[in-house]
Structure 1
Amino acid sequence: MKKQFIAAGFVGFFFLFPVKGLAANFSNIYIFGDSLSDTGNIFNFTQNLENQLPSVPPSPPYFNGRFSNNKIWVDYVGETLNLNPIPFSENPNIFNQSINFAVGGASSGFGNAVVPNVPLPGVLEQVSLFTQTFLSTNPQVDPNALYAVWGGGNDYVFGTDPNPINTVQNLSNALNLLATFGAKNIMVFNLPDLGRTPLALATMGLAPILTDITVAHNTQLATSLDIFKSNQPDINVIDVDVFSLFNQVADNPRKFGFTNVAIPCVVGSLISINSVCDIEQQNDFLFFDSVHPTTRAHSLVADAALLALESKSVPEPGAVLGMLAVGALGAAGVLKRQQKQSAFTQANPVLVGQSSHTMVEN
């Protein structure tokens, strides 16, 4: 299996592989994960706790319950597919619309790594909650929906005994649970290099440790996915490689429009913010706070996810053209969104389940 990595530039090649109207392929989209995918769940939960906890994340400077300065990948992908998921904390009708179950701080399994004393669901727990609710009135979950799973980062940053084997097993259990009850289209993200986050870079000795853990996690996840695909040949598994994407951006920031990849825009913690960069400069940063990407970075993740979807329905290009096409998609996506949006820590992070890479067989 060869991996097609995210490369910068080469906008001309984008037109060789246009993203089709994918909305017709999926009836709904369901999201399971942590703060990297949360569009308001933990914000709604903590608001309802009144004086027990401050609202997380604080808005402003964070955008509408998202751990970023504006839209995140869930928003961008949802807009493209015309399937905009509603946070499950807003009590949507689970049976006829897209829903986002992701909760900031979610562990890969059960509970919350950042707010441990509040009953907030981990990634596996979110999937279990969804399947139990859906199956209460249906023989199976919607086979025509798209299911996205991204988690694990909180286990390593906040876990007392981080172990990639246990974390990946939780994610594998989540995938198998979805498959068992009828899911046919599952998108899985790997983790970006946690050792290259501002949090790790600012903590002596932490960066190499988190890099090693990330590599071990992604290797274990790839192996687990190979087994899953072999055992479930009728399921469409969409791999999204965030690890390669973020390393490409960190190594070549200016090609992607970034000027700062090591220092966050927001300095402080989620409950005590010391400073925030000027709003005009926010998307010059790869990271909005010490672990969460800016909306520009999220737009690149969305482009990688959409290309991974597209690669399932068109003949796969050669490795070199594949690299150019992915980079072109990222560049074109950023330019398009810059035209649409004129405005869009070192924080005590609610690190959402980070994982994603577009592993495409060639």
Structure 2
Amino acid sequence: MKKWFVCLLGLVALTVQAADSRPAFSRIVMFGDSLSDTGKMYRKMLGFLPSSPPYYEGRFSNGPLWLEQLTTQFPGLTIANEAEGGATAVAYNKISWNPKYQVINNLDYEVTQFLEKDRFKPDDLVILWFGANDYLAYGWNTEQDAKRVRDAISDAANRMVLNGAKQILLFNLPDLGQTPNARSQKVVDKVSHISAYHNQLMLNLTRQLAPVGLVKLFEIDKQFAEMLSDPQNFGLSDTENACYGGDYLGKPFSLLSASTDSRLSAFNLQDRLAIAGNPLLAQAVANPMARRSASPLNCEGKMFFDDVHPTKVVHAALSERAATFIESQYEFLAH
């Protein structure tokens, strides 16, 4: 943690804002997972993950995600999005040889991918939203694991500041124990606890950095909690059951062959095992013959599209809430 203060305090003189002013932004740079992925994994997996339909145009939902809908509230907003489905905060591929970690992205590498083609600008608003895959998909859900996630987020944000980022916005996590996945896996109490513990770590991190004013926290858990307690206010009638059940292939693509679609030859065993090792991704892989014959899904009133990902209605509500928070903390300057 000390290196944070050494790095950030050295930049205070460059980032001081008047007491009654808001720091300006004209671009959002996003780092995250499937909750914010607008097509990166889809392109990486040659259009097979997530299967569209039933997923919407490479999104892990049935419609546009919260991030892309911010352009409604901020016309002219530029978004540089490195979020990728399956991504973790911790780079588990560096500590484990398990095949499931060798293809999946992580926060540090997302930053590397961004810096290979772009740079942080003074008017960027950098958003980090991680943790769901660490805790729910891969089962790293002890308090010590949460501290490792916190450290990965802290290290990445420090790296961003060293590379020119001036303002960073952290998102915490909703109660992962309320997802259909947690109930079906019978890990409700465990992941509810770790979600709350993670959020306390994020709050503590933000408070420690508050004096230098570079890092803020958007408590998205409160938005989800409100939806669960008063779903009718958001047009929701079912907060427990997924709209799409998926078919959880034990080994994604294993029921298919190159003769079904020549593109499948691009996927090796490591790719398939990696997706199979993450149930949040595996659900999004369907046999193309089955999905071609499937009827359109009616998700009206549903909070969850699949076992963990929200529907477009929830994304729209989250986008409005996030936009309201951003507007209260930052000044938008359209280019």
Fold match by TM threshold 0.5: yes
What residue in structure 1 maps to residue 319 of structure 2? 302
Could you tell me how far 1:254 is from its partner in structure 2? 1.1
Deviations 1:53-82 (A, max 9, x none): x71100001111100000001111134323
Aligned residue pair count: 264
Q: Cα distance 1:117–1:202, how it changes in 2: closer, same or farther (>3 A)?
A: closer
Q: Which runs of 5+ in 1 are unaligned?
A: 1-21, 48-53, 86-97, 136-140, 315-362
Deviates more, 1:58-67 or 1:125-134: 125-134
Q: Give, as a single letter, the amino acid of the residue that structure 2 aligns with 1:284.
A: G
Is residue 2:288 matched to residue 1:285?
no
TM-score, normalised with respect to structure 1: 0.66
Code of the aligned partner of 2:195: T
* TM-score, normalization by structure 2: 0.71
Indicate conservation of the 8 Å contact 1:128/1:177, yes or no: no
The answer on 1:81 being equivalent to 2:95 is no
Matched, 1:65 2:62: no
Residue pair 1:75, 1:84 contacting (<8 A) in 2 also: no
Q: With a CA cutoff of 8 Å and minimum separation of 6, indicate the structure with the bigger relative contact order.
A: 1
What is the DSSP-based 3-state SS (H/G/I as helix, E as strand, rest coil) of the residue aligned with 2:303?
coil
Match of 1:270 in 2: 284
Cα deviations by residue, 1:279-308 (Å, 9 ceiling, x for unpaired): 4x4141111000000011011211121111
> How far does the alpha carbon of each residue in 1:132-156 deviate from its partner, in whole angstroms, 9 at most, with x for none?
5445xxxxx2011121110111001
| Alignment partner of 1:257 is 2:235 | yes
Shift of 1:129: 3.1
Contact 1:152 1:168 in 2 (8 A): no
What is the one-letter code of the residue matched to 1:82?
Answer: P
Counterparts of 1:241 and 1:111, CA distance in 2: 26
**1:1-36 CA distances to partner (integer Å, 9 max, x unpaired)?**
xxxxxxxxxxxxxxxxxxxxx9x9433221100000
Relative to structure 1, the CA distance from residue 304 to residue 211 in structure 2 (aligned partners, 3 Å threshold; closer, same or farther) is same
RMSD of aligned C-alpha atoms?
2.8
Question: Do the aligned partners of 1:107 and 1:152 also contact (CA within 8 Å) in 2?
Answer: yes
Rounded Cα–Cα distance in structure 2 between residues aligned with 1:78 and 1:313:
15
Name which one, 1 or 2, has greater alpha-carbon Rg.
Answer: 2
Which residue of structure 2 lines up, in the alignment, with residue 187 of structure 1? 169
Given candidates 90, 105, 109, the residue that maps to 1:121 is 105
Gaps in structure 2 of 5+ consecutive residues: 1-21, 247-282
Distance 1:26 1:313, change over 3 A: closer
Matched position secondary structure for 2:239:
coil
Query: What do the CA deviations read for 1:180-202 (whole angstroms, capped 9, x no partner)?
Result: 22212222110000000011122
2:49 aligns with one of 26, 49, 56? 56
The answer to whether structure 1 residue 38 and structure 2 residue 19 are counterparts is no
Identity percentage over the alignment? 29
Q: Does 1:201 align with 2:179?
A: no
